[in-house]
Amino acid sequence: MIAYKYRSGRGLKDSEGNDLFERDIKQLSQDKIYIPTIEQLNDPSEALVDFRMFNTQPDLFKTFVPPKVSESFDQGIGHLYDIIRTCGIYSLSKENANELMWAYYASGHTGYAIIFDTDVLVKSFEQGRLGGMHELDVRYSSKPPRFELSKIEELDIEEVLSFLVGNKSNVWKHEAEHRLVFDQGGRSLKIDYRAIKGFVFGYRMNPDDIDYVMKIFAGRNLTYYQIKLKDNSYILWLDKLKDGYPNAEEYCPNKVEYNVDELLEYDKQNEGVGYRYRSFVEKALMEVSREPFVTFISHIVVTDDKKHPNILVWTKIKQDGSVKKMRSFEFDIINETLVRK
């Protein structure tokens, strides 16, 4: 799914006096996104839930919280609130041409919206220290939902999260919000750079700022648009822009060093098959070195079953300070692409 993250234009400052536009673009160029806590979001009624069910369903409540906090009912409710208030929410929108979104979140059309492929974005966190995340579409209603554990089958985490952090007032309905929910917010996390598909620039965004973004993200094969206003109407539409740096060197997220000869020598036990397919090995290594989170190429295994030669490249993965086990990438010689990631 394609979704959008609206960000402000140049001129606004954060609490430390940094320009929000430059700060956010710099962070994104490092393949990072900031996950705020619920307390840091702009709606004071975030995670507002009708908890009157606790008055009539104490036994079910005690199965939901850890044993230590079930001793005190009030303490248990406080613990649940603590969990909710410290979780992280990354808000996206399915809308790219809503007037209110551009006015509120893109500083009066002087900002931009990041185009994300949410399927790729979500996979970014499978290898992370947090052990993944959950995604949900926000539901809109005229009053807070009533949380009743008896209606949640087997305390399914997706349903629980939908009740706790997946509801907002109807006044926000125009946002068509899609959320990524993390167990802890207030931190920056690494993402797969391929989740960023492009940018939509605001109607009033300065041309120099548009060029600034294109230059920083040169070599990523991104798509760029700018919001335009249809003549004699209130309708906004997206005008596709040309990449200002079409001949830039292809972006590589890591500086993974490797020696082809040493890796082939390691694989020599397979009767020299690797040497026979050296050109494909070089292609496979180049492709793997561009994979996100790869920090080290350990060894290769090249086999030939007389029908379809196979290349496996084994690597180390590091994300958010956590080094993972060896991970293999399979290279399809026929199509010259990685087929398992």
Q: How far apart are CA 180 and CA 36, in angstroms?
A: 11
* 295 or 163: which leads in pLDDT: 295
Residue keyed to tokens 């919206």: 113
Among 124-133, 141-150, 192-201, 331-340, the range scoring the smallest mean pLDDT is: 124-133
pLDDT grade for 69, boundaries at 50, 70 and 90: very low
Domain positions in the chain are 2-241, 260-340
For residues 183-204, give the mean pLDDT: 94
Burial class of residue 31 in the structure, from the number of CB atoms within 10 Å of its CB (0-12 exposed, 13-18 middle, 19+ buried):
buried
Residue keyed to tokens 């248990």: 76
pLDDT grade for 129, boundaries at 50, 70 and 90: very low
Phi, psi of 232 (to 5 degrees): 55, 35
Q: How far apart are CA 212 and CA 334, in angstroms?
A: 39
Residue 47 has pLDDT above 80, yes or no: no
* Six-digit token string for 257: 């060093």
* pLDDT of the residue at 73: 47
- Secondary structure element (H or E) that encloses residue 192, with its range: none
For the CA atoms of 96, 98, 100, 103, what is the dihedral angle to 10 degrees? 50
Q: How far apart are CA 258 and CA 70, in angstroms?
A: 54
pLDDT grade for 19, boundaries at 50, 70 and 90: very high
Do the Cβ atoms of 314 and 326 come closer than 8 Å? yes
* 72 or 190: which leads in pLDDT: 190
Strand partners, 318: 323
> Whole-prediction pTM value?
0.85
